[in-house]
Amino acid sequence: MLNNLLFAMLLVVSVQAQAKELAADNYKAYCVQCHGMAGNGKGVNIRDMSVQPRDHTDAKAMSARSDESLYKVIKEGGTSISKSILMPSWEGTLSDEEIKDMVQHLRTLCKCKFGS
């Protein structure tokens, strides 16, 4: 009984750790070319971009965004929240679950929450 409980707890912890790692990997695969390796908006693409990518380490700007709004812009792209079309839509590349985990990953980059 206790063993089962311990096993279940371990499973939950390792699933959460995996989600975190996967989000970081997805960020490296799909976001860094614009948003930068450090998430600071200084990716290799930016020289020729007319709208500069958001600095995800900017706590002031990022804390003004709700998780719902971050989710929406990742899933549906910049135009879905009246931002630049240069921010692509990731629907079809990332699952809904992966987008949720990505929002949490962005919160670790800015070290911020909505409203604080």
14 vs 52, beta carbon nearer ligand HEC: 52
Question: For residue 16, what are its two tokens?
Answer: 């959460």
To ligand HEC, the closest distance from the beta carbon of 85 in angstroms equals 8
Longest C-alpha distance within the chain, in Å? 61
Alpha carbons 86 and 62: distance in angstroms, whole number? 18
Of the candidates 80, 97, 86, the residue with the CA atom closest to the CA atom of residue 26: 97
Residues 34-73, mask of contacts with ligand HEC (x by CB under 6 A): xx---------x---x-x-xx----------x---xx--x
**Site of interaction with ligand HEC (CB under 6 A):** 30-31, 33-35, 45, 49, 51, 53-54, 65, 69-70, 73-74, 78, 83-84, 86-88, 90, 102, 106
